[in-house]
Amino acid sequence: MIENRFITDQLQQRFTHDILGYETSLDMLTITVTSPVIHEVIAFLKENKNLAFTFLTDLCGIHYPDRGLPLGVVYHLHNLQENKRIRVKTYVTAGNPNVQTMTDLFETANWMERETYDFYGIIFDGHPNLKRILNVDYMDYFPLRKEYPLEDQTREDKNDKFFGR
């Protein structure tokens, strides 16, 4: 079993100031890194023999409209030999939402990144086929961003004081 401490030490040695924080949440170690080095970090985690996080379980976006870097990408990696999961996060600005693609490391990132682009508008540089996947091609907004509420907020026939968010 790889200790969390070992992972953080390895990353700290390699990427000193680009690691923004570590956090052990309810289930797994969460590492936040700056967006320019995200590809290097994931590649390091995958290719380093002692870490070997060779399985990309999940990749998804998240939106915090009130933060300075509102758009996030969350990666869930899994070391199948040691059965260790970690979560890596990176945040970008809404004006320049560019993150490097992981398709060269994991084939599976292809559709996951297309889905993230589709819903959050995060642009994955170097992606071979970055277009919408679940929504229609002519849609001109990114529906999972928080500025698009689920119901029409101008409706007056329904008092949503209690049931709304």
Partner 1 sequence: MIPRPLTPSPKREGEYTTLNLGPTHPATHGIFQNVLTLDGEKIIDAEQTIGYIHRAFEKIAERRPYYQITPLTDRLNYCSSPINNIGWHMTVEKLLGVKTSKRIDYLRIILMELARITDHLVCNSVIGVDSGALTGFIYVFQEREKVYEIYEEVSGARLTTNMGRIGGFERDISPIAIRKIREFIDHLPKVLKEFEKLLMRNRIFMDRTIGVGPISGERALNYGFTGPNLRAAGVDYDVRVMNPYSSYDDFDFTIPVGTQGDVYDRFCVRQEEIWQSLKLIRNAMENLPAGDFHVSVPQFYLPPKEEVYSKMEALIWHFKIVMGEIEVPVGEVYHSVEGGNGELGFYLVSDGGRTPYRLHFRRPGFIYYQAYPEMIRGGVLSDAILTMSSMNVIAGELDA
Residues of this chain that bind partner 1 (CB under 8 A): 25-28, 30, 54-58, 60, 62-63, 74, 76, 80, 83, 85, 87, 106-108, 110-112, 115, 119, 133-136, 143-144, 150-151, 162-165
Return the closest-CA partner of residue 120 out of 129, 130, 128.
130
* Closest CB to partner 1 among residues 14, 74: 74
Least distance (Å) from partner 1 to the CB of residue 83? 5
**Distance of alpha carbon 49 from alpha carbon 69, whole angstroms:** 33
Structure tokens, 29: 């170690």
Least distance (Å) from partner 1 to the CB of residue 23? 9
DSSP 8-state class, residue 109? H
Least distance (Å) from partner 1 to the CB of residue 5? 21
Say how many C-beta atoms besides its own lie within 10 A of residue 4's C-beta.
15
Scan for tokens 């985690």, then name that residue: 45
* Closest CB to partner 1 among residues 41, 46: 46
**Distance of alpha carbon 165 from alpha carbon 161, whole angstroms:** 9
Least distance (Å) from partner 1 to the CB of residue 41? 19
* Closest CB to partner 1 among residues 14, 145: 145
